[in-house]
Amino acid sequence: MTKLHEEFVKYGANAKRWLRQCALLLPEIARQEIWRKKGFGSIYEYAAKLAGMSKSQVDTALWVVRAVEDKPELKKVVEEKGINCVKPIVAIATKETASFWAEKATEMSQHDLEIYAKEYKSDFLRGEKTEQIEMSLDPAVADQLRKMKGNRDWNTFMKELMDGQPKPEPAQTKQVPTRIKNTVRARTNGICSYPNCHKPAEELHHANRQALNPTHNPNHIHALCKSHHHLAHHSLIANEERQPHEWRLLAYPDKTNPKYQVDRLVQKYRSP
């Protein structure tokens, strides 16, 4: 059984490698219309009959390879790791940021890179913004709320209100006590606490890293979806010791932070 599996893995790896080579040649084949000269109806027919590539594989190959043509750092990643590894970021990478993205594409899995690129777009590529929330309140409640707010601005007031919720005492136990788990999950109603994420929270994240600080402090434990938990352990969230509305995406991990060492170990444990 193991032998069969090993053989499959070996051939599979080879097949992937050769398909990668085919994909790299496609843009030039398209440019010179070699498919036409060889009697095929289209580049799709050419790639399907000669290499078993699907239409979407061809489209992706043409798009990605062309997009990295003037970005040598990313081109190298494509040549070494394949087209899919850079797919999540080709649309946002520029000549100036190509080496930055090449590094990220080398370090992260395709899925983690997708999540990072999404947060990058909302954190770095969009300006400051505010959001209007309309509420229908009982006039007495509205009045009370305005009095509580005083002359602070609404943002400051709402943040204080969120921070001021009653919390259970921190605990030193091995497992996170149920009362802390419940409080943490209830804070976002079982939804991931990463800003603007609405996926169900699947994991509890110790923002102070349990290995460095074995206390379970509900202020520093957050319910996250799997993707954002991964992002946290790529050491790419700044202000983690504060509440999620103050978290910011980092371009690079802070390697002087002791958390970084812990996260490297987490990565190593995670990779197959």
Contacts to Zn ion by CB under 5 A: 192, 194, 197, 199, 225, 228
CB of 69 to Zn ion, least distance (A): 34
CB of 191 to Zn ion, least distance (A): 8
Which among 165, 245, 161, 237 has a CA at the least distance from the CA of 205? 237
Beta-carbon contacts of 257 under 8 Å, excluding residues fewer than 6 positions away, are 235
Size of the chain, expressed as the number of residues it contains: 272
Cα separation, 232 vs 119, in Å, equals: 12
Beta-carbon count within 10 A of 269 CB: 8
- 203's enclosing H/E stretch is strand 203-206
Which among 239, 177, 227 has a CA at the least distance from the CA of 198? 227
Whose Cβ is closer to Zn ion: residue 118's or residue 181's?
Answer: 118
Whose Cβ is closer to Zn ion: residue 117's or residue 192's?
Answer: 192
CB of 232 to Zn ion, least distance (A): 10
CB of 227 to Zn ion, least distance (A): 6
Whose Cβ is closer to Zn ion: residue 5's or residue 198's?
Answer: 198
Contacts 24+ apart (CB under 8 A), 58-64: 58/26, 60/23, 60/84, 60/87, 61/22, 61/23, 61/24, 61/26, 61/27, 62/26, 62/27, 62/30, 63/90, 64/90
CB of 72 to Zn ion, least distance (A): 34
CB of 248 to Zn ion, least distance (A): 15
Whose Cβ is closer to Zn ion: residue 192's or residue 262's?
Answer: 192
> Six-digit token pair at 184?
């943490």
Which among 94, 84, 77 has a CA at the least distance from the CA of 63? 84
Cα separation, 154 vs 191, in Å, equals: 24
Whose Cβ is closer to Zn ion: residue 99's or residue 243's?
Answer: 243
Whose Cβ is closer to Zn ion: residue 35's or residue 194's?
Answer: 194
CB of 161 to Zn ion, least distance (A): 23
Whose Cβ is closer to Zn ion: residue 23's or residue 236's?
Answer: 236
